[in-house]
Every structure is written in structure tokens, then in C-alpha cells.
Amino acid sequence: MDLVTIVVIYCFLVAALFLAMWIFYDRRDYALFDHERRKSTFLCVRCEHLYAAAGSPEECPCPKCGHENARLKY
């Protein structure tokens, strides 16, 4: 193999590596952002405290009194 062929193959491998890293980190960051963005709203039936929790759990304890409350559904 001559030097030009080796350089071209090396450039393609480096480009493929950067593309793979870009796709991996883009998907990871999107998943983290989506998890932070999605929040469920709760209203405590005991102390009437309105609060939110990350993700989409069906039940979550109240941060004030600890009573387990169901998610508000619209």
C-alpha cells in the first residue's frame, strides 16, 4: 500500500470515530435532558401542598408531611 491510501483510510477511521462519539453523546444528553424535563405534578390531600417529581411516577410522598399521593391527571 502506498502512503496516500494509508492516509485516506486513517482519515476515514478518524471521521468514523468522531461520528460515533457524536451520536453516542447526543443520545445520552437527550435522554438526560428528557428525564429532567418530564415532571409529574402532585397535590397532597393531607396538607394541600402542590409539588412536582422528576420522571413519571404514579405515586410520590409529599415533601412536607410524607403522605403518599397519586399523580394529578389532566
Q: How many structural domains comprise the chain?
A: 2
- Asked if 48 and 20 sit in the same domain, the reply is no
| Whether residue 23 is found in the same domain as residue 51 | no
Mean pLDDT of the chain: 90
Top pLDDT among 71 and 20 is at 20
- Pick the closest to residue 44 from 32, 28, 60, 55 (CA basis): 60
Highest-confidence segment of 5-14, 24-33, 41-50 = 5-14
Which domain, by its residues, includes 12? Answer: 1-37
Q: What is the pTM of this model?
A: 0.52
Specify the pLDDT at position 17: 98
User: Is residue 33 domain-shared with residue 43, that is, in the same domain?
Assistant: no
Q: How far apart are CA 9 and CA 22, in angstroms?
A: 20
Clarify whether residues 57 and 25 are in a common domain: no
Residue-wise pLDDT for 32-60, tens only, equals: 887 777 788 899 999 989 998 887 788 89
What does the alpha-carbon distance between residue 41 and residue 7 come to, in Å, rounded to a whole number? 56
Q: Do strands 59-61 and 50-54 pair parallel, antiparallel, or not at all (unpaired)?
A: unpaired
Q: Under 8 Å CB-to-CB from 59, ≥6 apart: which residues?
A: 68, 69, 70, 71
2 and 32 inside one domain = yes
The cell numbers describing 1, all together, are 500500500
